[in-house]
Amino acid sequence: MKKSFTLRILILFLLLFGFAKVKAQVTIGSDAPPKPHSVLELYGEYKTGIFGGLRLPQLSTLERESLTGLDLPESFGLMIYNTDSNCVEYWNNHIWVSFCDDKVVPQQPGAMVGADTVCLGSTNLAYSVPKVEGITYTWKLPAGWIQTGGGNTNSITVTAGNNSGTITVTPSNNYGNGPQQTLFVTVIVVTNSTPSPASVTLCPGTTQRYFSNSVSGVTYQWQSSTDNATWADIPGATAYDYTATAVAGTTIYYRRNIIHTCGVISSGSVSVTGTNAPCASGTFPITPVAAPVKVYGVMSGGNLVGSSTPTDSLTITFMNCNLGANAALNPKQQMAYPGCTTDITVFGGWYQWGRGEHTHTFRCDATPNPAGDSRFSTTLVPNTGTPSAMVTSDHGKFVYNSSNWTDPAENNSNLWGNGLSLGGGGNNPVKGLNDPCPPGWRVPTQHEWALLGWEGGSMISTTGDNVTISNMVTLAKSGLYWVKVNNGVAAASFLKGNMCGYALYDKKTWDIAVSTNPGYATGASSLTADAAPMPLMFFPAAGQRANSGLSNGIGIDGYYWFSTVSSTNSVGLKFQETSVTFTGGGGRAYGFSVRCVEE
């Protein structure tokens, strides 16, 4: 017991004072001194007959990569045992070197070289990592990118797609894959959408504003083409939008270029077609197309009187277009046609009441100078009281600066027949010898026109002659729907320059159509679509030529002559976006539209 206590005191003494001067060289596992060139010597036999070795730190590749301070000089030569590759590795100041040579997975490649900001669609973009012999490189690109060269080498070429993302390269050998190297790349995407709205057909001189998506940091350049293939810059057209002007009988294509750091991007194209704008009423052959309208009325005392019940025996057949217009267009096509102020295609001609010839009905110019225009004259046509004599002596020019075009004005109020007034008796109008309608057709009476709304002149009440229309769609007492139309859709108002007017639908057809598609009644759905109901007729707001020779009201007012007269004036229909009246009219020198009815 005493010896054990003494031994312990001796060991403590050695621990405290025995190593004050420790040698710089150490031997472990033997009493033999270390060799002069050794700092540390290990011997494998640490007990008699029992042998051992040096155990290095055991690290996986992931754990090895978490080591810090490897950039310090003191780290060079650091050794570990890699539990993934089962090999001893040492750090050579650049990579971990395995004592197993290539019998381990590759190291992570060095930094990737290549552009980190590229343009959409850029080609021959090069990306690479430092090359290590015996290593295969597998590349992964962002969605939409295409590798065009390099295969599985350390350097590739690519074409950029439209997605930003990470380029990844994975090194591999026979023993597996090494850590990946990555580079995030941003793609500059500049979108140049096809200009809006879509291609249009317009009246000559009418403009259409086009625009596309707005892009910051770019330059715009609009271009035009006559064949949609060869393009030329439009001088000064470098704004976000562009306003094109329609040229008569010509189609011009437009597109917008965006110029930016990645080059030039062209949009899709749109076209603007200018109508030929025929201006002489004789341009279209008069080939009438019937538009029968079942009238809500009964015969009473020899008069055609309005009723709330339709009768098949009372059917008025109107021509499907204005006199002088193109009868080949059905009402839907008329509503979809551009509202050219000088075009007779839908509007037809302007007729001075009582004249039978068509030369004076032109609408070539919206604002002519009558004093210097050979188509106008202040000379009144002599009126001998014989209609046939008037026809032969008519000079064919539009008579202006007078309330009437004949001399004297009051003679022969039957030039267009004996038109019945609203309360007039009889139901057998006679066609006048100067009636401009083709054979089998005549100018309708005030009485016949009013039956489209209501006998008495009002579509809303049984008295009065003005009809207030505040809604897009009005059900008249005739049982017909009067629908305000602006460029093919039901509208709350007319807009000058558009194809505006009233479309008439029979009640049954309209109600069925609206129950299927309520958008017809609100303007949300086009009345010119294939599935839309076909109206009985369309009355365009063709305007008038005043007795001054100047035109007005085109696109917002409609004026239609009756065969009915009032003293030295004549009676006609007038409509606007808020009212329809069957007791309009005025001096016979005014140029109004004519809608013929079948005899």
In this prediction, residue 216 carries a pLDDT of: 81
CA distance 536 to 174: 84
| Dihedral sign computed on CA atoms, order 243, 248, 249, 250 | negative
CA distance 305 to 500: 30
In this prediction, residue 459 carries a pLDDT of: 40
Residues 192-198: contacts with CB within 8 Å, 24+ apart? Answer: 192/256, 192/257, 192/258, 192/265, 192/266, 192/267, 193/267, 193/268, 194/267, 194/268, 194/269, 194/270, 195/242, 195/254, 195/255, 195/256, 195/267, 195/268, 195/270, 197/270, 198/270
Given phi > 0 = left and psi -120 to 50 = alpha, else beta, which region is 401?
Answer: left
CA distance 382 to 394: 8
HSE-up (13 A, CA, CB side) for residue 535 = 35
In this prediction, residue 430 carries a pLDDT of: 81
CA distances from 246 to 113, 147, 495 (A): 54, 47, 19
The residue type found at 361 is T
Tokens of residue 429, six digits: 């109008």
Q: For residue 8, give the 3-state DSSP assignment.
A: helix
Query: Which residues, 6+ apart, have CB-to-CB distance to 557 below 8 Å?
Result: 541, 543, 544, 574, 575, 576
The answer to whether 441 and 321 are in contact (CB under 8 A) is no
In this prediction, residue 489 carries a pLDDT of: 93
The answer to whether 196 and 172 are in contact (CB under 8 A) is no
Q: For residue 166, give the 3-state DSSP assignment.
A: strand
By CB neighbour count within 10 A (0-12 exposed, 13-18 middle, 19+ buried), where does 584 fall?
buried
Q: Rounded to a whole number, what is the largest CA-CA distance in the chain?
A: 168
Tokens of residue 470, six digits: 């505040």
In this prediction, residue 421 carries a pLDDT of: 57
The answer to whether 576 and 496 are in contact (CB under 8 A) is no
CA distance 165 to 282: 68
The answer to whether 338 and 203 are in contact (CB under 8 A) is yes
Query: Which residues, 6+ apart, have CB-to-CB distance to 138 below 8 Å?
Result: 152, 169, 170, 172
In this prediction, residue 68 carries a pLDDT of: 87
Average pLDDT per 10 consecutive residues for the chain, totaling 599 residues: 47 47 68 77 70 86 88 86 88 80 78 93 94 92 96 96 95 86 92 84 77 84 95 94 87 93 88 69 54 58 51 71 88 87 84 86 73 85 62 77 80 75 57 87 84 52 46 78 91 85 90 94 93 94 91 91 87 87 86 91
Query: Which residues, 6+ apart, have CB-to-CB distance to 54 below 8 Å?
Result: 42
In angstroms, the first-to-last Cα distance of the chain is 151
In this prediction, residue 590 carries a pLDDT of: 94
Does pTM top 0.75 for this prediction? no
